Amino acid sequence: MPFSPAQRRYNRRVLILSLVYTALLFAAVYLLSRHLVAGPLAYVVGILPALAVCGFFWMMAVYLVEESDEYLRMLQVRQLLFATGIALSAATIWGFLEGFELLPHLVGYVWPIVWIAGLAIGGVLNRLIERGRMLIGRRQAGL
Direct distance between the N- and C-terminal alpha carbons of the chain, in angstroms, rounded to an integer: 24
Query: Which of 102, 141 has the CB closer to another protein?
Result: 141
Cβ 115 to another protein shortest distance, Å: 25
Cβ 79 to another protein shortest distance, Å: 14
Cβ 69 to another protein shortest distance, Å: 5
Query: Which of 12, 127 has the CB closer to another protein?
Result: 127
- Which distant-in-sequence residues (6+ apart) come within 8 Å of 81 by Cβ? 122
Cβ atoms of 78 and 126 within 8 Å: the answer is yes
d(CA 20, CA 25): 9
Instruction: Provide DSSP, 32-100.
Output: HHTT---THHHHHHHHHHHHHHHHHHHHHHHHHHH---HHHHHHHHHHHHHHHHHHHHHHHHHHHHHHT
Using alpha carbons, select from 48, 60, 47 the residue that is nearest to residue 118: 60
Query: Which of 36, 134 has the CB closer to another protein?
Result: 134
Query: Which of 9, 116 has the CB closer to another protein?
Result: 9
Cβ 137 to another protein shortest distance, Å: 3
Query: Which of 47, 134 has the CB closer to another protein?
Result: 134
The footprint of another protein (CB under 8 A) covers 1-2, 4, 68-72, 74, 130, 133-134, 136-138, 140-141
Cβ 138 to another protein shortest distance, Å: 6
